[in-house]
Structure 1
């Protein structure tokens, strides 16, 4: 962004005109026609402009997001405090199509939130469709640099030296030190508590123990709530595989993502690792014995969670936080029928799992479009949201109404807690606490207060704490969009999506070995080495970034 040089203006037009030109310059620097006042290093800009009402159009690149600003108490409270109202825009169908259409038409809304991993992020930056946040902050809200995390800014700094997006749910290496023992993972091996205990809490850390437990569960508990028991379940299979049977299984087996200094991408299948193959063969055996139904390959997330809410799975390799609704339903019916986390698959050495905690890349990034109606207010609103005050407001809500301070700790009122446990949708629509508006949530910051979980959700979360690891150096190994390596990667991924299910459904171990050998040859022939070379270079760049 080109800055106005007041001295040059004064020299060109004369000292007499300086006052009026300086006023124009100030208006331009402060956001233009809206007359927005710029903040300073000691005072955030949003406080100076809170009496000036503005509505931002904010695009959320997730079709499932169903919240509205202005319905809940928290959103009204924030608008009253900052003067900023929000109109959320959410795609009705395919997210990529909606966003690509806006990009192609140069019709981006004021703010954009999308996964950091989406190819549209570099596309928007390279096409100069979004502002550099650091430049906006220098001009309109230097206070941003006081509260923005320097490690996160460093992580997202582009080759031109600028930062265009700020992440949510990001955990820096310093967070892992500061909040050691308080961070959790979403990666769990879950069992239905009552069935697991009735079977004598079997050891399921080896393929033999895992298969034996599945057999006993099916034999002793053929039905659950009048429906056939499903001995094993996991996340949905997609055209590129299964997240739980790739990266998550790798973490349970404590497999290093690097081998001989090279990155090994679990998303392409660790099909030359004997520890990984050992467990895939166990799954094949389970399927052959009818312990894994064919439904597992076609069920979508909604169907999986419906079956979990019915208590139909004996065990699951699944994301524990995504089980909130099923767990609440089970707990209401019978507290002993919920799912609890136990030791899952281990490698032949019996090593403890290394479960992924939050990454430095986070989950999403938020950017400010060059079509933004007031870039100054936008960066100031972003500054507010990532500040401690903004985090208090979006997480806990309204002082003495939705939460009170108890021994120095913000604590939700009993009424809000109860509503969140019994009807989370109603809570988010009417109250709006606990990061209903998660676009810039700082979940590491939240850890300082300690997280109080509902009885239905607590055990799996707490179980993961001793095993949480940072995989920051492996974040963002995204190949250049449209590059040869990217095209190779996509082709191998799609092949793996078919191969993984074929391996589990193989009629014999001999057929399994044949499918595996064919896939390994396919990977090599397509150019896996080229992909690995670029990913390794990106990994080494990450190591250099994090070492600073």
Structure 2
């Protein structure tokens, strides 16, 4: 996903909601008006009921260990908005969703934007037509807008009123991390990993990899690509030895797509491979100021001068990249490994030696090991329950169920005896499904349906059930073990877009997005230096110091939340 997976920016296109959305979570879409009114009043008056419901709360407190979802498993449907246009999942068509629905009574109608995600969400916010659940990136402006607009419930209040079991399964540290100034928490993330977890688990992976096509790399004698000289020599040798792939020109190096604000591969990915620190002398440190980073950007500029940067990398989007990866047209890539699993599998099925493998990539002058981004406490997405939900009691109970170990098992493995069982003393997929998960992930997701149900996933719990990675992707994941670090304290450093600091941050991000391609296309290092100095000047004029001061204050708050001095 990919936070990781993920530089925190928002930039997408627009669509009106119109009649697609039905307000409220309902067990029967044909409920009469009086039933809807009673249900709606019940949901929207949680705060008033809580203030006057001490006796009920006292009664609930005796049931803190009992999962609340078991009290009512009658049919109920939640409309659930997922803030990603690429998401595609039909609840009720997979073995896992059928089992969960039968067990809990919950059915989900996933709603996905057809065009620009941000405009669709803003339309729903402005018209107060948000569905029952909303899942979006934790960094999105929509999170703040919904909280400030009073459009979402605090999970604390719902849990206190309807399901104290929530506190048994939610991480106190995660709740504290997402706590707002009013002391309440309004959303819960998926795949959140606290900094302390890195000391407890040995196999926490990173998505950030430098990969090469195995057969080509070996044919070139496995060149050392950690230095600028070795990197350029390897790209040049690959282009000379393998000028074409199935009649198409070889692309020596592949990168994430260029956007209005830059390129992941040449920003956080490259900085982490170079082990550039995030702080220096007690202040936040911008990797773009680091000599090692500039050295490597100039290396990429030199690569372009040598004809080693294909024009395709400046214009291709993810869909075009996946197609070219499946064709094996890249020699090397600084790329997120989970973004090309299907393409990697296609290569493996044609020729196991043509797959991509992770190797040591760009490094700093000391050849220090990379410090790649692992999962953070912010997770990837944030899920919120809106005040349009007519059954907030069932909603918070379903959240608690999903967060529990039982729910994680159900959402990951499915029904015991159908998709999994205890084999050799371990809870794991039945052999036919384990093999499908390893070798045909697309079919596995279509039949079993585990991977798309990530909204409240917990990777630390799920790793105990994960099948061994298939031969096509195993090496990519295992290479990252021991190289992942937590950058959790540097999350939440993007100011609200409509604040003064947010406007500054947006201007600087756009400025960098315009500058980065120019740096790579510069005809000389001298021209590179002029472009770079111009960027620094304009960044300062845009108010960089004011933004930095805001970020430093936010960083101190982050450290306090995590107990880091």
Whether TM exceeds 0.5 here: the answer is yes
Matching of residue 459 in structure 1 with residue 459 in structure 2: no
List per-residue Cα deviations over 1:264-289 (Å, max 9, x = no partner).
34xxxx33211000000000010111
State the SS of the aligned residue for 2:378: coil
Aligned to 1:409: 426
Inter-CA distance 215–135: structure 2 relative to 1 (3 Å threshold): same
Aligned to 2:97: 75
Match of 1:90 among 104, 112, 115: 112
Written as runs of structure 1 = structure 2, the 5 A alignment for 1:358-373 is: 358-373=375-390
Aligned to 2:283: 262
Matching of residue 173 in structure 1 with residue 189 in structure 2: no
Cα distance in 1 between the residues matched to 2:444 and 2:369 = 38
Matching of residue 279 in structure 1 with residue 296 in structure 2: yes
Instruction: Give 1:340 deviation, angstroms.
Output: 0.4
Match of 1:103 among 122, 125, 131: 125
Cα distance in 1 between the residues matched to 2:556 and 2:252 = 42
Aligned to 2:332: 315
State the SS of the aligned residue for 1:232: strand
Cα distance in 2 between the residues matched to 1:310 and 1:413 = 32
Instruction: Give 1:262 deviation, angstroms.
Output: 1.8
Cα distance in 2 between the residues matched to 1:7 and 1:169 = 34
Q: Is the 8 A contact 1:225 1:311 kept in 2?
A: no
Instruction: Give 1:452 deviation, angstroms.
Output: 1.3
List per-residue Cα deviations over 1:396-443 (Å, max 9, x = no partner).
11212111222332222222233334543332232212x321110111
State the SS of the aligned residue for 1:41: coil
Cα distance in 2 between the residues matched to 1:327 and 1:405 = 30
Inter-CA distance 66–294: structure 2 relative to 1 (3 Å threshold): same
State the SS of the aligned residue for 1:271: helix
Aligned to 2:150: 128
Cα distance in 2 between the residues matched to 1:230 and 1:543 = 43
Cα distance in 1 between the residues matched to 2:323 and 2:154 = 43
Cα distance in 2 between the residues matched to 1:44 and 1:445 = 18
List per-residue Cα deviations over 1:313-342 (Å, max 9, x = no partner).
111000011110111010000001100000
Written as runs of structure 1 = structure 2, the 5 A alignment for 1:220-231 is: 220-231=241-252
Aligned to 1:431: 448
Q: Is the 8 A contact 2:429 2:467 kept in 1?
A: no
Instruction: Give 1:448 deviation, angstroms.
Output: 3.7
Aligned to 2:70: 47
Matching of residue 214 in structure 1 with residue 235 in structure 2: yes
Q: Is the 8 A contact 1:62 1:95 kept in 2?
A: yes
Aligned to 2:347: 330
Cα distance in 1 between the residues matched to 2:358 and 2:453 = 29
Inter-CA distance 7–126: structure 2 relative to 1 (3 Å threshold): closer
Aligned to 1:12: none
State the SS of the aligned residue for 2:331: strand
Match of 1:2 among 48, 64, 69: 48
TM value normalised by structure 2:
0.89
Q: Is the 8 A contact 1:182 1:447 kept in 2?
A: no
Cα distance in 1 between the residues matched to 2:53 and 2:402 = 35
Matching of residue 520 in structure 1 with residue 541 in structure 2: no
Aligned to 2:223: 202
TM value normalised by structure 1:
0.91
State the SS of the aligned residue for 1:137: helix
Matching of residue 390 in structure 1 with residue 381 in structure 2: no
Aligned to 2:521: 505
Instruction: Give 1:7 deviation, angstroms.
Output: 8.8
State the SS of the aligned residue for 1:291: coil
